[in-house]
Copies of this chain bind each other. A is one copy, B any other.
Amino acid sequence: MSETTTVTPQRRVTLAQVAEHAGVSLKTASRALGGEPHVTDQTRQRVLSAATTLGYRRNTAASLLASGRVAELVGLVTGDLTNPFYAALAQGLEDVIDPAGVQLNVASTREDPEQEWRLVRDLADLRVRGLAIVSAMDDHSRYAELQARGIELIFVDRPAQGVSACSVISDNLGGGRAAATHLLQHGHRRISFVGDYSWLHTYRQRVDGMGQVLDPEAPQWRELIRDGAHDSATARRHVLELESSDQPPTAYVAGNNRVLLGILEALSTTREDRPMPAVLGFDDVEWGPVMQLSVVATDPYRMGRLAGEQLVAGPSATEEPLVVPTSLIARGSGERQS
């Protein structure tokens, strides 16, 4: 049933061979294959069929070297693909660039700035056309070096700082306001925001948005802010500590999808002698509908697409960040309790 094929290594077909087979000069073959003008349709056909029969594929390295062009390649630098937020971003990006004939290279920083810089330079060495970066750095002036090499930069989710480049971000301020408003309307006053690294632009904007609504109504909310939770384990610890206090919060806001997981894990193990607190997530999760979770949804897939569009379109004038809206999705009644 399964006939196994084996083949011996063979030298690759070169353009010269195609040209000879088609009876034209090297350059003519190059033109025909490259889709350049000034070639008779008939000649082009001859070259094309010669290429097909010979199984010719252009040598990218040679082509790039001779032309000085950049590769049809873009790089994506994120924290870690196991975070569905980044995975969705990657897929959005790929969905846009693939039809444009551009390939995707990915690299993970694990939120380490040094690692990021190393990865970004390695990517640059591949002569990528552009880079989409979810940066772990708070200052991007070093990136100017890459722009000087002709590489287009798009900062995603976290805006560019100290370098003149394009950014695609979420409306975190609006999201923060929406979260706070929602919880206030459901009667909550003791609200705890468990957030990501405090140096993150996204973190600060979300807190600020919530503050705009909560500071006048329930100023004590700031005492319940906890940060540094980029993973679920840290979030879990924060919640366990809060839950064991005299006056635990009646509602938790998860600063990101990992935190959401951590909060829910923690709450599922804590004492049952009080009403289950409400939980509101930032970033939607695939299991949100099943668990009836309310969230302020961001749209990483869309952000990926936007980044991809910028990258294939080439250098843009836009320096004002592109802001992707967030939306509050109320599901079930989890947040109605007090």
A positions within 8 Å CB-CB of B: 2-10, 12, 55, 57-62, 64-65, 71, 73, 80-82, 84, 87-88, 90-91, 94-95, 98, 103-108, 121-127, 139, 141, 144-145, 147-150, 161-164, 261, 264-265, 268, 285-287, 289-292, 301
Contact = CB atoms under 8 A, between A and B. Distances in A.
Contact of A103 (B65, B105, B144, B150): B105
A104 B119 CA distance: 11
A293 to B, nearest CB: 10
B108 A94 contact: yes
Contacts of A7: 144-145, 147-148
A34 to B, nearest CB: 14
Given A65-B59, A127-B61, A291-B291, A148 B8 contact: yes
6 contacts: A60-B61, A73-B126, A82-B88, A95-B108, A98-B107, A105-B105
A107 to B, nearest CB: 7
Contacts of A2: 139, 161-162
A104 B106 contact: yes
A91 B98 contact: no
B5 A301 contact: no
B149 A126 contact: no
A5 B59 contact: no
Contacts of A82: 84, 87-88, 91, 301
Nearest to A64: B61
Q: Which 9 A-B pairs have the closest CB atoms?
A: A7-B148, A287-B287, A87-B87, A5-B144, A61-B64, A61-B61, A7-B144, A61-B65, A5-B141
Given A7-B147, A291-B287, A105 B104 contact: yes
A286 B301 contact: no
A165 B62 CA distance: 29
Contacts of A141: 3, 5
B94 A103 contact: no
A97 to B, nearest CB: 10
A182 to B, nearest CB: 22
Contact of A91 (B12, B108, B121, B287): B108
Given A5-B164, A6-B164, A290-B265, A94 B81 contact: yes
